[in-house]
Structure 1
């Protein structure tokens, strides 16, 4: 039995998310269907991150086990020849039998993209924020979230996990022309967590509430203020890191 690892890029605009669902196209479903067409095996395709509807990825990782002996480079070419244009397989390799795309991951990096000017071309990859934003307050918020914290209040309801503690290893806002980019790396992420953090930080930066309130929400889990979740379209899974196998 072989264990095959995939490095995947996809445009999430027209997907219901990574995971197979009954109500529309999923990235997992499209890749599983293509694999079956090529090797005639119905594989269990495991993704590193269950990205939500409309969320994009440049560095999604997945793995599956199979009996077929097709060379990995041949499999990559075959998959890219039949997959839809909004999914690309960038690399395929055979890995240790114990490798698990989700549970073997030690950290993930996401980026969130904001445009301060309304755009037509590229609108599916940015959140257009019409408010004036205080960039220094964005930076201060990002500094506060570094370290181990309980992020339950920033995640979406229905998150089914044993605990809500995540270790944020880096968090930074950058300016590129008229764009704002938030990059965050952590050992794990909760459902909707990045979008909740971005929404709350933008609320601070536009003056809806001050940074002391943000600190109270983060450190004391104060739920007196409703957390705004940023739109999914601006979020990209950039990379997933694994220990050596």
Structure 2
């Protein structure tokens, strides 16, 4: 006789400084591993969470979604479980909410879009050392935004993908890509239906080359069209990157 289960979405945020990314890996502490242990301990059964994506070492998430299944017969009160989890989890992982969803709902495959932000600080700031990349060079933000607009004309972003990944396609649809100058910091916001491994950090690194005058508009276009990672700029450090929004269809929640 099969055991009935109930699927839940769990919304969380985490500071990635002390983690080797989201996904479980041998001999390294990850956010997924810590969350699995917390849920398994509290619910007294083995829980394996599935994330909406993978973040690399040092990358943060101000908004991250994961899902997991538990025995439907268990009396689970979402609010109480969120409270208990936050008492159990370390200071750098926080659970925001949890809610039941349809059995087939999937945090990765059902996501309509994801939004990332990358933060650059213009000056040395000890309070930003783990959340911003320090860039002392003068950057032409107008040219960087002009180049960013070219991303809307393309869908194959092989040039900005980590090599030798398990992705079946490098096709993505970018909905937003723009820089904002906030005085003492620069913020790059990019939204797409999906992202390739290392894609945002490679795009930022290449746009910085534009901002420094090392690459012009034609050169940036050639980088994209070459579909060759070696032609793009270096990947910027992970600690300036945040996953900040994931959008889902409205009909995934299960009424209780």
Q: TM-score range by the shorter chain?
A: over 0.9
Moved more, 223-232 or 35-44: 223-232
Between the aligned partners of 1:153 and 1:132, the Cα distance in structure 2 is: 25
Residue 4 of structure 1 pairs with residue 8 of structure 2:
yes
SS at match of 1:121: helix
Gap change, CA 1:14 and 1:223, over 3 Å in 2:
closer
2:19 aligned partner: 15
Between the aligned partners of 1:130 and 1:23, the Cα distance in structure 2 is: 35
SS at match of 1:111: strand
Deviations 1:153-177 (A, max 9, x none): 1111122111101000111110112
Of 125, 129, 151, the match for 1:123:
129
Residues 131 and 240, structure 2, Cα contact 8 Å, conserved in 1: yes
Gap change, CA 1:147 and 1:92, over 3 Å in 2:
farther
Between the aligned partners of 1:196 and 1:226, the Cα distance in structure 2 is: 7
1:149 aligned partner: 155
TM-score (norm 1): 0.96
How far does residue 147 in structure 1 lie from its aligned partner after superposition? 4.7
Of 202, 206, 212, the match for 2:212:
206
Counterparts of 1:68-107 in structure 2 under 5 Å? 68-107=74-113
TM-score (norm 2): 0.92
Residues 154 and 192, structure 1, Cα contact 8 Å, conserved in 2: yes
How far does residue 151 in structure 1 lie from its aligned partner after superposition? 0.9
How far does residue 222 in structure 1 lie from its aligned partner after superposition? 5.4
Moved more, 97-106 or 10-19: 97-106
Aligned residues: 245
2:241 aligned partner: 235
1:60 aligned partner: 64
Gap change, CA 1:224 and 1:241, over 3 Å in 2:
closer
Residues 147 and 169, structure 1, Cα contact 8 Å, conserved in 2: no
Q: Name structure 2 gaps, 5 residues minimum.
A: 252-256
2:254 aligned partner: none
SS at match of 1:217: helix
Of 42, 47, 69, the match for 2:46:
42
